[in-house]
Amino acid sequence: MASPCRIAAAGLASPKRLRTAGFTLVEVLVALVVMAVLAALAWRGLDGMQRARDISQQAVERSARLNTILAQWEQDLASLDDSGVVPALAFDGGTLRLTRHLPGGMVVVAWSLNGSTWQRWASTPATRVAELQAAWLRSQQLLGNESGQVTLEDGVIGWQVYFYRGNGWSNAQSTGDLARAPAGAASAAVHEALPDGVRLVLRLASGTLTRDIALGPHSP
């Protein structure tokens, strides 16, 4: 028969084994610190990925918006119509004005830079000489908040327009060739001939955008 001392030794663990079976408070604290550091690193990684995705999405949206704006720019220039009453195309350094024909009549369009905001304004269709002249005059007095004014792009640093005449590009503000008003115009006065092409140079915070547009043949 086993002695009482042996039975007690077999049924109870020693105090040393009890101490080594769990974690000490220091070990738990160290583990918590390590987990906190790993969680912070993982969060920073996820936040960086989110920021990169947002920046990429904004770049895609801005590129799509600029493409839409340039499509309107090309459409306006492709629809130029010289009435002989007011200049069909003119640039004064801040605003490019042009006249184009719509089913309802002749329209004056103004592309302008108001501070750092690029805008486009279009008049109501004019069917009479006085209406067209009034629309052209109004295009020279725009404040940026008129009816028909559309904000195209913010954060524009500056822009410049060049005309292609003869065999090269020149500043749109320089004097061009002269031509008579088209047949059927209200006035037969001599005016500046339309160029063969228009170059847009738009300076943005992200870089410089350049677009060349060839104009169709013009009657003398």
DSSP string for 105-155: EEEEEEEEEETTEEEEEEPPPB-SHHHHHHHHHHHTS--S-STTEEEEES-
Q: Is residue 179 part of a domain?
A: yes
pTM attached to this predicted model? 0.69
What is the count of structural domains for the chain?
A: 1
Q: Is residue 112 part of a domain?
A: yes
As given in the structure block, the two tokens for residue 215 are 């104009």
Q: Is residue 144 part of a domain?
A: yes
As given in the structure block, the two tokens for residue 113 are 């830079």
pLDDT value of residue 64: 86
Q: Is residue 173 part of a domain?
A: yes
pLDDT value of residue 69: 92
pLDDT value of residue 58: 66
CA neighbours within 13 Å on the CB side: how many for 177? Answer: 13
pLDDT in tens, the chain (220 residues): 555 545 444 454 555 554 555 678 777 777 788 888 888 877 777 777 777 776 677 667 778 888 999 999 999 999 999 888 999 999 998 999 999 988 889 999 999 998 999 999 999 999 999 999 999 999 999 888 888 889 998 889 999 999 998 889 999 887 655 455 555 554 444 467 889 999 999 999 888 999 999 987 654 4
With tokens 């936040």, the residue in question is 47
Q: Is residue 123 part of a domain?
A: yes
Torsion angle of C-alpha atoms 138, 139, 140, 144, degrees rounded to 10: 100
Q: Is residue 28 part of a domain?
A: no
pLDDT value of residue 189: 47
Task: Give first-to-last CA distance, the chain, whole Å.
Answer: 131
pLDDT value of residue 75: 93
Q: Regarding beta strands 156-165 and 197-204, do their DSSP bridges make them parallel or antiparallel, or are they unpaired?
A: antiparallel
What separation in angstroms does the CA of 177 have from each of 48, 100, 160, 162, 167?
Answer: 57, 21, 20, 15, 13
Is residue 197 within 8 Å of residue 164, measured between CB atoms?
yes
pLDDT value of residue 15: 53
pLDDT value of residue 159: 94
Provide the residue range defining the domain that includes 199: 59-214
pLDDT value of residue 44: 77
Q: Is residue 24 part of a domain?
A: no
pLDDT value of residue 50: 73
Report CA torsion sign: 67, 200, 77, 167.
Answer: negative
Complete DSSP assignment for 61-77:
HHHHHHHHHHHHHHHHH
Q: Is residue 196 part of a domain?
A: yes
